[in-house]
């Protein structure tokens, strides 16, 4: 089944959002995806509208702050080859050491708990009001984050009415 209008905005959850977006594009379900993540502002949505860009569907992925903090706080990246790990979800065989190249695993500045907390505060202040902006235009749908990226993608397809 095809969406009638094919311009979609996905708010939040960077990696999960891009997986869902990729799936929608790859299956030919939509023409264009606009991502709005932390750091994006309502002004940008207004600017899009002022340029005459009509948004047909907006999906907001709802993730608990606590889950985001755990997810990002546990991320580790190899300082040599850039491979990524998670202390709980994708642990390396040897703590602190990259499976691929033996390099030391580091926490990125973006993932440190204080930075994550700041970014969440910005998200609630600057990004979340976008939901009201799009709700008023009748295009907002929300999706609860699922334990797997595939699960969240399925939910997004379902709210867009294109699930098989």
The footprint of Zn ion (CB under 5 A) covers: 78, 80-81, 83, 98, 100-101, 103
Residue with tokens 């996905």: 10
- Closer residue to Zn ion, CB minimum distance, 73 or 103: 103
- Closer residue to Zn ion (CB): 75 or 119: 75
Output 55 or 77, the one with its CB closest to Zn ion: 77
Q: Shortest gap between Cβ of 104 and Zn ion (angstroms)? A: 9
Residue (94 or 137) nearer to Zn ion, CB: 94
Taking CA atoms, 93 is separated from 52, 74, 86, 105, 118, in Å, by 52, 15, 11, 12, 32
Give the relative orientation of helices 65-73 and 113-122 as an angle to the nearest 10 degrees. Answer: 140
For residue 106, which phi and psi values (nearest 5 degrees)? -125, 160
Least separation in angstroms between residue 75's CB and Zn ion is 14
Rounded to an integer, what distance in angstroms lies between the CA atom of residue 68 and that of residue 144? 13
Which residues, including other chains, have CB under 8 Å from residue 119's CB and lie 6 or more apart? 38, 39, 110
Residues 90 and 113: their CA atoms lie apart, in Å, by 19
CB of 102 to Zn ion, least distance (A): 7
Supply the minimum distance, in Å, between the C-beta of residue 84 and Zn ion.
Answer: 10
The least CB distance from residue 76 to Zn ion, in Å, is: 11
Output 76 or 119, the one with its CB closest to Zn ion.
Answer: 76
Centroid of chain to Cα 121: 16
């Amino acid at each position: 089944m095809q969406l009638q209008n094919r311009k979609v905005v996905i708010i939040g959850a960077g990696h999960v959002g891009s997986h869902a977006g990729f799936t929608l594009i790859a299956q030919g379900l939509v023409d264009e995806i606009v991502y709005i993540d932390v750091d994006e502002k309502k002004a940008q949505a207004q600017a899009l509208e002022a340029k005459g860009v009509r948004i047909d569907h907006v999906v907001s992925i709802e993730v608990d702050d606590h889950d985001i903090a755990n997810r990002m706080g546990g991320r580790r990246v190899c300082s040599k080859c850039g491979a990524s790990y998670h202390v709980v979800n994708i642990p390396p065989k040897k703590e602190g050491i990259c499976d691929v190249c033996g390099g030391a695993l580091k926490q990125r500045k973006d993932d440190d708990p204080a930075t994550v907390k700041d970014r969440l505060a910005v998200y609630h202040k600057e990004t979340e009001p976008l939901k009201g902006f799009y709700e008023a235009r009748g295009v907002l749908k929300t999706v609860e984050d699922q334990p797997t990226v595939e699960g969240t993608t399925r939910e997004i397809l379902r709210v867009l009415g294109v699930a098989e």
